Structure 1
């Protein structure tokens, strides 16, 4: 199972924007005037578009330099995350409940670069449920559908099982997440907690649409209904 992070599990937009502004200045020597909206896109794409709308002609070294600067700027602000950001309602309980399903491994499919993805979830104690080594991240210069296939390949190499729409579930808040799942080969649970309304998620082709994550039983039922076989384990400790 692959979770989107921003506006699905957490909202840390203020800190993210500040980190982008510092990274932009570090790389270009100029203040950031306009940051393009994320819209479910990977950081690599956001970086190129942000450079363009601010009048910077992208060069070969810009992307790696910006990613490095963004990682540093975000890490410098990590203590602000729990103060100025929030875990979305039900996120912790949903992750914990899904962890009880037999055979389920939880990772992330996110536009965020890996280091920042870890920090976002650590800030709210959500990282303990995630296997970060199997995910797809924003520094990998691929569209999100390809990131999904990259993550499926990592899971196959680790677990020895081919991953298809029959045993892969993506959960995210935007129509773009839905499109990535459908193209990349995964079932899709849309959560109307962020960028897209329930009707938009359904129109994009989500298999299940939930208003939010506040009902963990609904999340578990959706995952179980989209994968086979999935059998619940007994209770686990909060740290599991």
Structure 2
């Protein structure tokens, strides 16, 4: 294996925001005994960070046990709704074909770098049959209290231990829809493909430093060409394309 491709999930591969909001509301009520009144925006942040903000804006002083209890409750409430994901959510345009096309590249392993906790990440992709090309063992997830850039490096380390190959900035690509994804990749030294299918406009993704910006994943050939170019032998040898 000589290519590591890490995918963001929400608004890059799927949109299951309706089910996610319901699961958060139920988890909040289970943990605090109160109804959830104020929502917070995800904006590319991990579940662990969202939980703390959600508690704060709803007047709950978080204790040491709030985060693990909330994440356990969130896993349960989301899992109970997993059969609704395909009905009430949607797969982003081209997601399945893009994953399948990237999987055909020589030496590639695909996983996820997501703010979603692991169990819910598996449910989200399995609901749309997007899981078959993903190695969930080596991903980075929302229950891990790391900045996303650090989590990217954690995923690289997991991939190295499993596959016995070195994954670094020369052969790792993150594919995500938010400026936060771009910033995380830049900090971690990885390549980044920005997909303007979420809340960040193409100009914002460019400004944040994306190597390539695509309108969506509907053209799998463009996705493959971008991944291949950003993990080419020339790049691995340290000869980066102009503009890098």
Q: TM-score, normalised by structure 1?
A: 0.95
Cα deviation, residue 159, structure 1: 1.6
Aligned to 2:232, what secondary structure does the other structure show?
coil
Structure 2 residue 186 is matched with structure 1 residue 182? yes
Give the equivalent residue in structure 1 for 2:225: 221
In 2, the alpha carbon distance for the partners of 1:139 and 1:229 equals 35
Taking the TM superposition and a 5 Å limit, the aligned residue runs for 1:37-52 are: 37-52=41-56
- Structure 1: gaps (5+ residues): 231-240
Give the equivalent residue in structure 2 for 1:113: 117
- From 109, 124, 127, the equivalent of 2:128 is 124
Retained in 2: the 8 A contact 1:173–1:193?
Answer: yes
Cα deviation, residue 229, structure 1: 3.8
In 1, the alpha carbon distance for the partners of 2:58 and 2:161 equals 41
Cα deviation, residue 33, structure 1: 0.7
Structure 2 residue 32 is matched with structure 1 residue 28? yes
Give the equivalent residue in structure 1 for 2:216: 212
- Structure 2: gaps (5+ residues): 235-244
In 2, the alpha carbon distance for the partners of 1:162 and 1:217 equals 26
Give the equivalent residue in structure 1 for 2:145: 141
Cα deviation, residue 114, structure 1: 0.1
Aligned to 1:188, what secondary structure does the other structure show?
strand
Give the equivalent residue in structure 1 for 2:239: none
Give the equivalent residue in structure 1 for 2:98: 94
Give the equivalent residue in structure 1 for 2:70: 66
In 1, the alpha carbon distance for the partners of 2:128 and 2:220 equals 17
Cα deviation, residue 228, structure 1: 2.2
In 2, the alpha carbon distance for the partners of 1:199 and 1:165 equals 24
Cα deviation, residue 161, structure 1: 1.9
Q: How many residues align?
A: 230
